[in-house]
Amino acid sequence: MSANTPAAAAPAKSKKMLIIILGVVAVLVIGGGAAAWFLMSRSHADDEEGSAAPAHKEAPKVAPTFLPLENMVVNLADPGGDRFAQVGITLELDDAKTAEQVKQYLPAIRSGILMLISQRTSSELLQREGKEKLANDILREVSRPLGFSVPTERERARAAAADKEEDPEERPRRRVERNPVRRVLFSSFIIQ
């Protein structure tokens, strides 16, 4: 019997060791799975909070309303007065309600746009920067009757310089209403 006792003790020790190893592996697997779940749920929560925050600040995304204006033919301010531009403009607006408001002021808006274009030379309007400046000026002209103001390049530069000089904590928060006239788009632009 003494010969059987050492042989029986060896399998008992190996069974205990096997159970301990399996227990440690199980704890590591469960702990790793729990850590992975925690990190994944945390990153999803951050994503949901990140995407939800701007949704509360901005209005729901809706398709814009486009209001095409009749083509305008304007004499340009070139020396000799023999150059003219034919310009087609489409306004990108927030909604149909804004389009109706713009239509009420259309004669004044068209007059202002004609005045703006007639002050430009063909060399100005042939450059991309000239067209972009004209689009910004037209945006200002369209927004004015609706009660919104669009700052000029010079005003934006002054505001940026003033913001840099002021302490951000002392600066009062300015609430600016969103202009319902989003953009000015050129549907045609011919200079002769």
The full set of domain ranges for the chain reads 1-58, 65-168+178-191
CA distance linking residue 95 with residue 146, whole number of Å: 14
> What is the residue-level pLDDT of the chain in tens, covering all 192 positions?
555 555 555 566 778 888 888 888 888 888 888 888 877 777 665 555 555 444 445 556 788 899 999 999 999 999 988 899 999 999 999 889 989 999 999 999 999 999 999 999 999 999 999 999 999 999 999 988 888 877 777 776 776 676 667 655 655 555 556 888 899 999 999 999
Residue 163 has a pLDDT of 65
Helix 106-118 × helix 96-104 angle, to 10°: 70
CA distance linking residue 38 with residue 133, whole number of Å: 52
The pair of three-digit structure tokens given for residue 46, joined into one six-digit string? 């951050």
CA distance linking residue 59 with residue 87, whole number of Å: 32
Burial class from Cβ neighbours inside 10 Å (0-12, 13-18, 19+) for residue 66 reads middle
The pair of three-digit structure tokens given for residue 75, joined into one six-digit string? 């004499």
Helices (H), 58-119: 96-104, 106-118
Residue 14 has a pLDDT of 78
Buried b (16+ CB within 10 A) or exposed e, 13-30: eeeeeeeeeeeeeeeeee
CA distance linking residue 185 with residue 60, whole number of Å: 23
CATH of domain 65-168+178-191: 3.30.479.30
